[in-house]
Amino acid sequence: MSHPFFLTVAYAGAGFHGWQIQTSLRSGQGDLWTALRAFDSGAPMPQGTGRTDAGVHARAQGVLIQASRSWEPYRLLSALNAHLPMDIRVMAVRPAPEGFFPRQHALAKRYVYRLGLGAAADPLLSAFRWHIHQALSLDLEAMKTALAPLLGTHDFSSFRCADCVAKSPVRTIHGIHLLPVEGGLDLIFDGTSFLMHQVRIMAGTLVEVGRGRRSAESLEGVLSSNDRRKAGMTAPPQGLCLEKVWYEARWGLGDPSPWGERR
Nearest to 204 by CA among 262, 258, 253, 143: 143
119 vs 244: which has the higher pLDDT: 244
Residue 179: what residue type? L
Gap between the Cα atoms of 127 and 138, Å rounded: 21
Gap between the Cα atoms of 51 and 159, Å rounded: 17
Q: What percent of the chain lies above the pLDDT cut of 70?
A: 100
Q: What are phi and psi of 112, to 5 degrees?
A: -120, 125
CATH number of the domain enclosing 211 = 3.30.70.660
Q: What are phi and psi of 13, to 5 degrees?
A: -75, -15
pLDDT per position as a tens digit, 62-109: 999 999 999 999 999 999 999 999 999 999 999 999 999 999 999 999
Together in a domain, 235 and 112: yes
Q: Is residue 64 part of a domain?
A: yes
Determine the pLDDT at residue 1.
78
Together in a domain, 119 and 200: yes
Together in a domain, 71 and 114: no
Q: What percent of the chain lies above the pLDDT cut of 90?
A: 94
Judge whether 74 is annotated as a binding position.
no
Residue 87: what residue type? D
Q: Is residue 254 part of a domain?
A: no
pLDDT per position as a tens digit, 127-169: 999 999 887 789 999 999 999 999 999 999 999 999 998 999 9
Together in a domain, 59 and 83: yes
pTM above 0.85, yes or no: yes
Together in a domain, 213 and 232: yes
Determine the pLDDT at residue 262.
81
Domain that residue 128 falls in: 107-244
Determine the pLDDT at residue 115.
97
Q: Does residue 222 have a pLDDT over 90?
A: yes
Q: Does residue 202 have a pLDDT over 80?
A: yes
CATH number of the domain enclosing 39 = 3.30.70.580
Together in a domain, 123 and 77: no
Residues known to be catalytic: 53
Q: Does residue 214 have a pLDDT over 80?
A: yes
Q: Is residue 190 part of a domain?
A: yes
User: How far is the first Cα of the chain from the last one, in angstroms, to the nearest whole number?
Assistant: 34
Torsion of CA 204, 48, 245, 77, to 10 degrees: -120
- CA distances (Å), 86 to each of 15, 48, 49, 232, in order? 11, 19, 21, 35
Q: Considering 84, 104, 124, which residue would you say is the last residue of a domain?
A: 104
CB 114 within 8 A of CB 239: yes
Q: Please state at what angle helix 140-147 crosses helix 198-210, rounded to 10 degrees.
A: 140
Together in a domain, 75 and 201: no
Together in a domain, 27 and 84: yes
Determine the pLDDT at residue 31.
98
Note the helical H segments in the chain: 28-37, 73-82, 140-147, 198-210, 219-225
CB 132 within 8 A of CB 120: no
Together in a domain, 95 and 116: no
